Amino acid sequence: MHVLSFVNQKGGCGKTTAAVNLAGALAAKGRRVLLVDLDPQAHATMALGWAAEDEPTVREVLLGEARADAALVSGPGGVSLLPASAALADFEDATARMLHAEGALRAALEPLDARFDEVLLDCPPRVDGVLCANALRASDTAVLVVETGAFALQGAVKALDVLAELRETLDRPFDLRVLGTLFDRRTRFARELLMALHGRFGEALFDTVVRTSVRLREAAAMGVPVQVLDPACRGAADFEALAGEWLADGAGGDGAARDAGASRSPAFQTTRP
Ligand SMILES: Nc1ncnc2c1ncn2[C@@H]1O[C@H](COP(=O)(O)OP(=O)(O)O)[C@@H](O)[C@H]1O
Ligand SMILES: [Mg+2]
């Protein structure tokens, strides 16, 4: 079981879209995939057409009130979902007096090891909260999702610094990768930014860049991964390519060699004083 989280302190950069649709693309390739929604906004849950009501959600799992396998639901496109609801918003307060609150997700996922090949974690738009801390402690790989728009490079460098520092404190450090999203090939600006990202992060940047696609928005609104809505569209093609790339070099292969924080990455080191 490989756990990968989608992080960025910025909202609207495509984290949820990446988590949901990479999950769909991996499932379409026959992988056993679990998507965990760690955002009280519950966008990933909605994007799989689910609305949690009285049944246990990821909140109860993290608080030790329910087992993960009791809270799982089957989503469309062969993706299993550990849903979130707005009630997750009080998680920070609820864990104020809890010991080891940041290790709750890792512990909860352990019994699912034989059941899933890939577990994708959709994080809230902040990297300093206890939810993201849970995600990073459970992660084999953290994917920084970067919108290829204005100020993206500065934001990405800062976010990667924070993540690289944080993982120094972990007993099981995650690999760091970077994914470019919302790419509009028609603008020179976006093309140049992509080159700058590549210059800075090198191999840690996924070759696949997720282009802007109306179908991705439509799929979210309809509550299905884009592979289910229209497997022939550009959005589906991008996530198919990303899934292929991930399976070729991420999950089992030379992830560490592509790590954005690895000492061998001179591009990353130049961000330090
Ligand atoms: N590649 C894309 N093409 C078109 N729309 C996108 C794309 N990626 C994300 N969006 C849209 O942008 C908005 C924010 O994306 P989302 O994945 O929810 O970001 P985050 O989870 O980082 O807040 C959503 O309305 C989503 O449908
Ligand atoms: Mg989101």
pLDDT of residue 261: 61
Residue 145 · residue 124 · CB < 8 Å: no
**Over 90: is that where the pLDDT of 46 sits?**
yes
pLDDT tens digits, 86-139: 999 999 888 888 888 999 999 999 999 999 999 999 999 988 899 999 999 999
**Over 80: is that where the pLDDT of 15 sits?**
yes
pLDDT of residue 267: 37
**Over 50: is that where the pLDDT of 272 sits?**
no
Confidence of residue 155 (pLDDT cuts 50, 70, 90): confident
Q: How far is the CA of 216 from the centre of ligand 1 (A)?
A: 8
Residue 82 · residue 35 · CB < 8 Å: yes
**Over 60: is that where the pLDDT of 11 sits?**
yes
20's tokens? 């949901």
Q: How far is the CA of 100 from the centre of ligand 1 (A)?
A: 33
How many residues would you count in the chain?
Answer: 273
Residue 104 · residue 65 · CB < 8 Å: no
Residue type for position 88 = L
Ligand 1 atom at minimal distance to the Cα of residue 18: 17
Percent of the chain with pLDDT over 90: 73
pLDDT of residue 269: 37
pLDDT of residue 36: 98
Q: Rounded to two decimals, what is the model's pTM? A: 0.93
- Give the ligand with the smallest distance to the CA of 144: 1
pLDDT tens digits, 179-237: 999 999 888 888 888 999 999 999 999 999 999 999 999 999 999 999 999 999 999 99
pLDDT of residue 271: 35
Q: Is the CB of 11 under 6 A from ligand 1?
A: yes
pLDDT of residue 174: 95
Nearest CA to ligand 1 atom 25: 217
**Over 90: is that where the pLDDT of 18 sits?**
yes
**Over 70: is that where the pLDDT of 257 sits?**
no
pLDDT tens digits, 72-98: 999 999 999 999 999 999 998 888 888
SS3 147: strand
Kindly provide the b/e burial profile for residues 202-215, where b requires at least 16 CB atoms within 10 angstroms of the residue's own CB: bbbbbebbbbbbeb
CATH architecture assignment, domain 2-269:
3-Layer(aba) Sandwich (3.40)
Please state, in angstroms and rounded to a whole number, the distance separating the CA atoms of residues 116 and 31.
8
SS3 183: strand
Pocket perturbation via mutation, ligand 1, pick of 9, 10, 17, 127 by most ligand atoms within 8 A of CB: 17
